[in-house]
Amino acid sequence: FDLAQAARRGVPVRLYEMRPVRSTPAHKTDLLAELVCSNSLRGAALENAPGLLKEELRRLVPGHGVIFLQMKNDVEYERRVESGKPLLALIDELWQAIEPHNRIYTLKIGLFHFEIPDYPVEVCREALLNAFTHRDYSILSPVYVRLYPDRLEISSPGGFVSDVSAENIVGHEPISRNPLLAQVLQRIGLVERAGMGVKRMFQVLLSYGKEPPNYEAGADFVRVTVRSDRAEGRLDETFARFVVRCQQEGRELRLPDLLILNWLKRNREVDASEARRIICRSEREAYEVLNSMVNRGLLEQFGEKKGRVYRLSKMVYAQLRRSLSYLPFHRAELAYAETAILNYLQELPGRAEERFVTNEIVRTLLRVSPHQAGYVLAGLVKKGRLVLKGRGRAARYYPAEG
């Protein structure tokens, strides 16, 4: 809890030294962490001081707490847990609820085995701590944690602070709505310093061959989604192997490198303007990142000055062939693939509204990877030839009317 925030709102706060004669192991800082920590050492009975303190905190900050929902599908849940424990105990309780469903995938590279969890512990910890640290405690609503079969969603009250957005969060300088609470958590080593927490989340997920966390926000909420490996095509084993090999060879891939490479898995080329948007840096920094990747053999540059674009180097292209959505589709091949899908739909029996294809059907039809099938289907949707209904494994593509 941020007691300073309560004081600023006019709530009387009186602090008393617990043991004025000598300090105890609990008294390590000049902040209010000791008061909060002491609150978790004893029970909640109103006959003792910690119990009274807990009751006061519940009264003064009624929105504190969490509701955990284990979802059966998008609209039904099979388990509901509501808790208002102290923050550190709350984080532990949430992780204990998530961990039994955290499937592990083993990536084998030579004699070495690398474990890739559905939900990496450092990513979950950072997402949960951010939800409580940066939430708006004036909104009397709890944090919601929803564990779906294919994803983890964490929603916290209050929109982004200042000009932070879902588009620039990975590169934005840290801004905290509750600076004292953030400082306390930094002092005890629970959150990353210097705003590295979100960057760490992106780096871990991309290094594992996963999709980066997805942020959504409104005026009164922020939601972050982490996809599991069970979601179709979410784990890119080829890319994960590439990252591990780079590490073994002493070639460190930094977060901007991973963001650019992830973009180039689905797009043939990138220019400095697009790179600036992807890595959320200035244009000068974008040029520096791109040129560094060229010098390290990750990219090749084409064109001159303002028309210059960057593509995967031949070496990287060869190693990531199975990851690339655009690989087999030059113009003629793409036209053939689109025609094959539309002809397949036309030849299906039944009414037009009953005919559909899925990513799996297209993979079988064209003998391509999930990424490549998704690329062609997305192109047909963009051109208005197909209509997408559902998402994940339930995604179906129907012929557009007319």
| Rounded Cα gap, residues 81 and 152, in angstroms | 15
Considering its fold, how many domains does the chain have in total? 4
Q: Which of 26, 43, 60 is the endpoint of a domain?
A: 60
Q: Verify that 96 and 208 share a domain, yes or no.
A: yes
158 closest CA partner among 134, 178, 175, 123? 134
Q: Verify that 166 and 245 share a domain, yes or no.
A: no
Q: Verify that 249 and 377 share a domain, yes or no.
A: no
Longest CA–CA span in the chain (Å) reads: 87
pLDDT confidence bin for 194, thresholds 50/70/90: very low
* pLDDT score of 38: 44
Residue 172 belongs to domain with CATH number? 3.30.565.60
Q: For residues 55-84, give the mean pLDDT.
A: 87
pLDDT above 90 (res 256): yes
- This prediction has a pTM of 0.71
Query: Is 134 contained in some domain?
Result: yes
Q: For residues 384-388, give the mean pLDDT.
A: 94
Residues sharing a CB contact under 8 Å with residue 9, sequence separation 6 or more, in sequence order: 138
Across 24-38, 178-192, 258-272, 343-357, least confident range: 24-38
More confident residue, 128 or 351: 128
Query: Is 232 contained in some domain?
Result: no
Q: Verify that 76 and 90 share a domain, yes or no.
A: yes
Q: Verify that 173 and 316 share a domain, yes or no.
A: no
pLDDT in tens, 285-304: 999 999 999 999 999 988 77
* pLDDT score of 61: 73
pLDDT confidence bin for 274, thresholds 50/70/90: very high
Query: Is 310 contained in some domain?
Result: yes
Across 165-169, 315-319, 332-336, least confident range: 332-336
| Rounded Cα gap, residues 15 and 95, in angstroms | 32
pLDDT above 80 (res 11): no
Query: Is 301 contained in some domain?
Result: yes
* pLDDT score of 30: 54
pLDDT in tens, 85-123: 888 888 999 999 999 999 999 999 888 899 999 999 999
Q: Which of 307, 323, 339 is the endpoint of a domain?
A: 323
Give the domain extent around 12.
3-60
Query: Is 71 contained in some domain?
Result: yes
Q: Which of 323, 353, 384 is the endpoint of a domain?
A: 323
Residue 258 belongs to domain with CATH number? 1.10.10.10
Q: Verify that 222 and 366 share a domain, yes or no.
A: no
pLDDT above 60 (res 248): yes
* pLDDT score of 219: 92
Q: Verify that 105 and 166 share a domain, yes or no.
A: yes
3-state SS of the chain: helix, strand, coil percent to 5?
45, 15, 40
Query: Is 376 contained in some domain?
Result: yes
More confident residue, 333 or 220: 220
Q: Verify that 258 and 345 share a domain, yes or no.
A: no
Q: Verify that 75 and 203 share a domain, yes or no.
A: yes
More confident residue, 38 or 59: 59
Q: Verify that 88 and 153 share a domain, yes or no.
A: yes
DSSP lists the bridge partners of residue 216 as 223
Q: Verify that 338 and 391 share a domain, yes or no.
A: yes
Query: Is 196 contained in some domain?
Result: yes
% of residues, the chain, pLDDT over 90? 51
Is residue 386 within 8 A of residue 397, CB to CB? The reply is yes
Q: Verify that 216 and 315 share a domain, yes or no.
A: no
Q: Which residues of 239-266 are buried (b: 16+ CB within 10 A; e: fewer)?
A: bbbbbbebeeeeeebebbbbbbbbbbbe
